[in-house]
Amino acid sequence: METIHTVEAKALVELQKRDTAIDALAARVADVPVKIAALAEAFEEKKRSMSAARDALVALQVKKKGVELKLAEADEGIRKHQRELNLVKDNNAFKALLTEIEHDKQSKDDLETEELVLLEEIDKAAVQDKVMQVEVKKTEDFKNSEVAVLEAAGREAAEKLTAAKGERAAAAAALSPDLLERYETIRANRRGLAVAAAHEEPGTGKLSCGGCHMSLTPQKTLDVKKQDTLTFCQDCRCLLYLEKTIFG
Ligand SMILES: [Zn+2]
């Protein structure tokens, strides 16, 4: 079977147009939760970054507390050894204490340097912490407004889909059952596209299949131009029609 000759050719083309529109609406409806999930995930990701920034800041503050404690200990050590210095009589003990004090002072210097570095790091981490909080808030606001828009669009598409399905059912019921069955079979095998418009190249007038884009054979080109005729594409086996023949 290379062509279908039927007065219902136009009705079948219109049914395909309805089905294509329904498929597009259904895809839009199905896409809404996917997009909302992506927005929610982006928001969660930002929140994870925010808590990582907060953890980094807290860790630095804890580290600074530790350094401050060690500094206090070093100070205490220096004071203790200086008190002892006033009490010793023995020269060797005196020298040993001086060495201890020198050692304490050195570690105090090191700790103070470490504290300065930490203070700088804490400043940077605090800035980052603030930045992340602002970003999270922005991401949340963006997500909420996008979700509202998406949900509204989804509801609208769902309503249109319901209406389109009702109209489609009525249009399908008006077709002869045999033709409808053939159409449904081709559509099921061709991912929704049973009937495709032949594309006419401007200038040359050469025809190609709207489904697979292959050029039509000369015979197919003749067939597709006949009234009330749908012809199978020789390559992808979808049914072809010419817009100006069907709707002209
Ligand atoms: Zn084709």
CATH of the domain at 66: 1.10.287.1490
Indicate if 43 and 158 belong to the same structural domain. Answer: yes
Q: Give yes or no: residues 95 and 146 share one domain.
A: yes
Residues whose beta carbons lie less than 5 angstroms from ion ligand 1: 209, 211-212, 233, 235-236
Whether residue 111 lies inside any domain: the answer is yes
Q: Are residues 133 and 221 in the same domain?
A: no
Look at residues 173, 192, 225 and tell me which one is the last residue of a structural domain. Answer: 173
Domain limits at 165? 20-173
Model pLDDT, residue 248:
84
pTM: 0.79
The set of residues, in sequence order, having a beta carbon less than 8 Å from that of 245 and lying 6+ positions away, is 224, 225, 226, 227, 229
**Residues 6 or more apart in contact with residue 240 via CB below 8 angstroms:** 195, 196, 197, 198, 209, 210, 211, 216, 220, 224, 230, 231, 232, 233
Task: Compute φ and ψ for 243, nearest 5 degrees.
Answer: -50, -45
Residue 219 shares a structural domain with residue 125: no
Does one domain contain both 101 and 183?
Answer: no
Whole-number Å distance between alpha carbons of 231 and 219: 10
Please report whether residue 1 resides in a domain.
no
Do 223 and 142 sit in the same domain of this protein?
A: no
Distance 152 CA to ligand 1 centre (A): 37
Is residue 38 domain-shared with residue 105, that is, in the same domain? yes
Q: How many CB atoms lie within 10 A of CB 125?
A: 20
The answer to whether residue 211 sits within a structural domain is: yes
How close is the Cα of 215 to the center of ligand 1, in Å? Answer: 8
Same structural domain, 58 and 96: yes
**Domain for residue 241, yes or no?**
yes
Chunk the chain into consecutive blocks of 10 residues (it has 248) and report each block's average pLDDT, rounded to whole numbers: 91 97 97 98 98 98 98 94 91 93 94 98 98 97 98 98 98 96 95 95 94 95 94 94 92
Residue 212 lies inside a defined structural domain of this protein:
yes
Q: What token pair was written down for 143?
A: 């997500």
How many domains is the chain built from? 2
* CA 232 to centroid of ligand 1, rounded, Å: 8
pLDDT of residue 17: 97
My answer on whether 168 and 184 are in the same domain is: no
**Residues 53 and 167 placed together within one structural domain of the fold:** yes
Q: What is the structure's pLDDT at 105?
A: 95
- Strand-pairing partners, residue 239, are 195, 232
In the reported structure, the alpha carbon of residue 165 is separated from the centroid of ligand 1 by a whole-number distance in angstroms of: 27
- Shared-domain flag, residues 107 and 188: no
Tell whether 118 and 180 lie within a shared domain: no
